[in-house]
Chain A
């Protein structure tokens, strides 16, 4: 039995919600990053599903774009995290509130 489109969308929505909640509630920047990856990949899943069911390659192109952006973002983000850790010895995001008004 092949699953229909709604199963993919439901899984993708669950993954996206998990990722969002993770970003909002966790304090460790590494975990936040992983959650962001989770959100991005849930979107990827949606794209692939639609692409398959609509017999269109457009969605696949977007998936590659998103993977590229995600990779670049991780590179920059990890570099930031490393440099923050070197200066502060502490990477709890709730402590990083110097920019508050």
Chain B
């Protein structure tokens, strides 16, 4: 029971000590920063086995009662169920590995301590988010991860681009926070509480099935999820967030924080179950986002941004999974994605370390010889994310695509979704292997740059290798045909409040085979174009220059936002500061001062200083008062 408080408080302890511990030697920071998260991970494992031994019972642990006002009670507590446990294991486990990697990656940075301080704070906020037993503290964690994301994107605050990216991320996230807060207000109006359990128990009774209220609430929650998970149309901040240090990208913008939106939808499934309209919206947003991000990744030349778009694309798959009410498959993909995407980012970080922070893949190539460990880890993770059979991504992605395939038998328009998902799987393979070929294989394009390229030190290699191993074996949690282990485990969460949660579907072999074919096609195309260069990439781009430019410019969405939102706001700000500020505000202030000054200059004459004048005015006043009473009738 108490292990959950250990998990929560350890990263907070680490944050507090690091935030005041300026005299701490670097070695102590390097032990303490990752160490607290590592111990928290151990506690999470203890909690996991403790609960699994009892058949995944869900428990509510109330730490203390915060506010009592009549019938209104706010508890600070934890809801420990399979969903929370899985999220907790990912956050602390992958988080620990990434923090370990950071010890090597950030070793040259002057702000070593500040970095680990923020990272521990992030882990704490994320744990509050996933362990909370009420929407209120979920929102606390939600805002906390948003804040730490802002701090870490802008970690190198001397770089204008990093500061701008941090600001953009914060602004977009605040849009999502707004949606969340309005949704919570409406929920509170109807349920008079924000605790999960009482809300979920009474959703059908209070809100009805497919009523307008439950639609609005779920759509507003979706606004929050879309902003946090960088889905269409609020995705623009994620690629720019790559200005932060690479471990930050791995931890926050790939493995944990951006999946919070998926967690939110999965956690709120009784609400979403009552709003089929919103579920369709989730599926459509997910599918469009998956395809959109994959095409953006195809044309991008920045190693980290390609990975950012692939993150967006994979989270879009998770959205489709939870939107299609196949929650366990969405969470399963979340788990495997955390492994291989963190591994990919670590590989990218190692490459950047070796190449003096160069991120342009057109200047890379042939790094396989000098960085073999990084290459093999990157290869395994690339194969996993592409969905090469028998690796983790294959199983988790196929479960999502398969569940859409199964439902498409009854709902016609889901066929379009299924086709787009299968197509995107091929595109994923294409852009990931393009990245692999351009970075690690072929000719060295810039020999001078790669002169001192070498594998990273052990502290960075080890987490990468562990994650590569997990990227291989992570999928066997749900081996097709065998008992779906993770699905059965998560069912305890997803059957608690609504009996309609479908049993995890059997493997859809037709869907699996078609996806394997598109993936094979994608890998083959990448091999021909980017390895054999027959046809060369430039020729491919030249055959359809309009489409190439569309992808290269990210479908002009960034430019559109810039024109439609950012610049009008800047113009409005200029207008306000030059016209309104100067003439209206200043006019009001200075005008009132001038009016007072002028009127007092005139009024001053009344004060003649002659006693008899004052006496006369008193007399006149008395005459007026007496006269009023005399002549009143």
Listed in ascending order, the chain A residues whose CB lies under 8 Å from chain B are 20, 23-25, 32, 93-94, 96-101
What 7 pairs across the A-B complex have the smallest Cβ distances? A100-B609, A97-B609, A101-B607, A101-B604, A99-B609, A24-B612, A100-B608
Return the CB mask of B315-333 against A: 1 if under 8 Å, else 0. 0000000000000000000
Cβ contacts A to B, 7 pairs, < 8 Å: A20-B619, A99-B609, A100-B610, A101-B604, A101-B606, A101-B607, A101-B608
Contacts of B633 in A (CB 8 A): none
CB < 8 Å neighbour of B609 from A20, A23, A24, A98 = A98
Contacts of A20 in B (CB 8 A): 619
Interface residues of B in 580-616 (CB under 8 A from A): 603-612, 615-616
Query: How many angstroms between the C-alpha atoms of A100 and B609 in the bound complex?
Result: 4
The answer to whether A24 and B615 have CB atoms under 8 Å apart is yes
Query: How many angstroms between the C-alpha atoms of A84 and B619 in the bound complex?
Result: 26
Query: How many angstroms between the C-alpha atoms of A32 and B607 in the bound complex?
Result: 20
The answer to whether A100 and B607 have CB atoms under 8 Å apart is yes
Query: How many angstroms between the C-alpha atoms of A98 and B606 in the bound complex?
Result: 14
Query: How many angstroms between the C-alpha atoms of A96 and B614 in the bound complex?
Result: 13
Contacts of B604 in A (CB 8 A): 101
The answer to whether A23 and B612 have CB atoms under 8 Å apart is yes
The answer to whether B610 and A94 have CB atoms under 8 Å apart is yes
The answer to whether B607 and A93 have CB atoms under 8 Å apart is no
The answer to whether A99 and B607 have CB atoms under 8 Å apart is yes
The answer to whether A96 and B619 have CB atoms under 8 Å apart is no
Contacts of B609 in A (CB 8 A): 96-101
Query: How many angstroms between the C-alpha atoms of A100 and B610 in the bound complex?
Result: 8
CB distance from B344 to the nearest CB of A (A): 81
Query: How many angstroms between the C-alpha atoms of A100 and B604 in the bound complex?
Result: 8
Contacts of A97 in B (CB 8 A): 608-610
CB distance from A91 to the nearest CB of B (A): 12
CB distance from B330 to the nearest CB of A (A): 80
CB distance from A85 to the nearest CB of B (A): 16
Contacts of A96 in B (CB 8 A): 609, 611
The answer to whether B607 and A24 have CB atoms under 8 Å apart is no
Count of A-B contacts judged by CB separation below 8 Å: 32
Contacts of B616 in A (CB 8 A): 24
Contacts of B610 in A (CB 8 A): 93-94, 97, 100
Return the CB mask of B463-503 against A: 1 if under 8 Å, else 0. 00000000000000000000000000000000000000000
> B605 — nearest CB in chain A belongs to which residue?
A101
Contacts of B606 in A (CB 8 A): 101
Contacts of A24 in B (CB 8 A): 612, 615-616, 619
The answer to whether B612 and A93 have CB atoms under 8 Å apart is yes
Contacts of B605 in A (CB 8 A): 101
Contacts of B619 in A (CB 8 A): 20, 24
* Chain B count of residues within 8 A CB distance of the other chain: 13
Query: How many angstroms between the C-alpha atoms of A98 and B612 in the bound complex?
Result: 14
Query: How many angstroms between the C-alpha atoms of A23 and B617 in the bound complex?
Result: 12
Contacts of B611 in A (CB 8 A): 32, 93, 96
Contacts of B608 in A (CB 8 A): 97, 100-101
Query: How many angstroms between the C-alpha atoms of A32 and B611 in the bound complex?
Result: 10
Centre residue among A23, A25, A93, A101 by max chain B CB count within 10 A: A101
The answer to whether A25 and B607 have CB atoms under 8 Å apart is no
Query: How many angstroms between the C-alpha atoms of A20 and B616 in the bound complex?
Result: 9
CB distance from A49 to the nearest CB of B (A): 18
Query: How many angstroms between the C-alpha atoms of A62 and B467 in the bound complex?
Result: 102
Query: How many angstroms between the C-alpha atoms of A100 and B611 in the bound complex?
Result: 10
CB distance from B554 to the nearest CB of A (A): 71
Query: How many angstroms between the C-alpha atoms of A101 and B603 in the bound complex?
Result: 9
> B606 — nearest CB in chain A belongs to which residue?
A101
CB distance from B598 to the nearest CB of A (A): 14
Query: How many angstroms between the C-alpha atoms of A94 and B606 in the bound complex?
Result: 16
Query: How many angstroms between the C-alpha atoms of A73 and B488 in the bound complex?
Result: 100
Contacts of B615 in A (CB 8 A): 23-24
> B604 — nearest CB in chain A belongs to which residue?
A101
Query: How many angstroms between the C-alpha atoms of A25 and B609 in the bound complex?
Result: 15
CB distance from A30 to the nearest CB of B (A): 14
Q: Beyond the given A20-B619, A99-B607, could you list 13 further A-B residue pairs with CB under 8 A, ordered by the A residue number?
A: A23-B612, A24-B612, A24-B616, A25-B612, A96-B609, A97-B608, A97-B610, A98-B609, A100-B608, A101-B603, A101-B604, A101-B605, A101-B607
> A20 — nearest CB in chain B belongs to which residue?
B619
Query: How many angstroms between the C-alpha atoms of A23 and B618 in the bound complex?
Result: 12
CB distance from B613 to the nearest CB of A (A): 9
CB distance from B463 to the nearest CB of A (A): 82
Contacts of A99 in B (CB 8 A): 607, 609
> A25 — nearest CB in chain B belongs to which residue?
B612
Query: How many angstroms between the C-alpha atoms of A85 and B616 in the bound complex?
Result: 25
CB distance from A51 to the nearest CB of B (A): 21
CB distance from B611 to the nearest CB of A (A): 5
CB distance from B364 to the nearest CB of A (A): 83
Query: How many angstroms between the C-alpha atoms of A31 and B615 in the bound complex?
Result: 15
Contacts of A100 in B (CB 8 A): 607-610
Contacts of A98 in B (CB 8 A): 609
Query: How many angstroms between the C-alpha atoms of A98 and B619 in the bound complex?
Result: 23
CB distance from B127 to the nearest CB of A (A): 70
CB distance from B416 to the nearest CB of A (A): 85
> A36 — nearest CB in chain B belongs to which residue?
B615
CB distance from B623 to the nearest CB of A (A): 10
Query: How many angstroms between the C-alpha atoms of A32 and B616 in the bound complex?
Result: 13
Contacts of A23 in B (CB 8 A): 612, 615
Contacts of B612 in A (CB 8 A): 23-25, 93
Interface residues of B in 437-453 (CB under 8 A from A): none
Contacts of A25 in B (CB 8 A): 612
Contacts of B607 in A (CB 8 A): 99-101
CB distance from A61 to the nearest CB of B (A): 23
Query: How many angstroms between the C-alpha atoms of A27 and B606 in the bound complex?
Result: 20
Contacts of B603 in A (CB 8 A): 101
Query: How many angstroms between the C-alpha atoms of A94 and B611 in the bound complex?
Result: 8
> A27 — nearest CB in chain B belongs to which residue?
B612
CB distance from A69 to the nearest CB of B (A): 17
> B616 — nearest CB in chain A belongs to which residue?
A24
Query: How many angstroms between the C-alpha atoms of A23 and B603 in the bound complex?
Result: 25
Query: How many angstroms between the C-alpha atoms of A23 and B608 in the bound complex?
Result: 17
Query: How many angstroms between the C-alpha atoms of A36 and B611 in the bound complex?
Result: 13
> A29 — nearest CB in chain B belongs to which residue?
B611
CB distance from B596 to the nearest CB of A (A): 15
Query: How many angstroms between the C-alpha atoms of A56 and B612 in the bound complex?
Result: 36
CB distance from A1 to the nearest CB of B (A): 30
Query: How many angstroms between the C-alpha atoms of A101 and B604 in the bound complex?
Result: 5
CB distance from A45 to the nearest CB of B (A): 18
Query: How many angstroms between the C-alpha atoms of A99 and B607 in the bound complex?
Result: 8
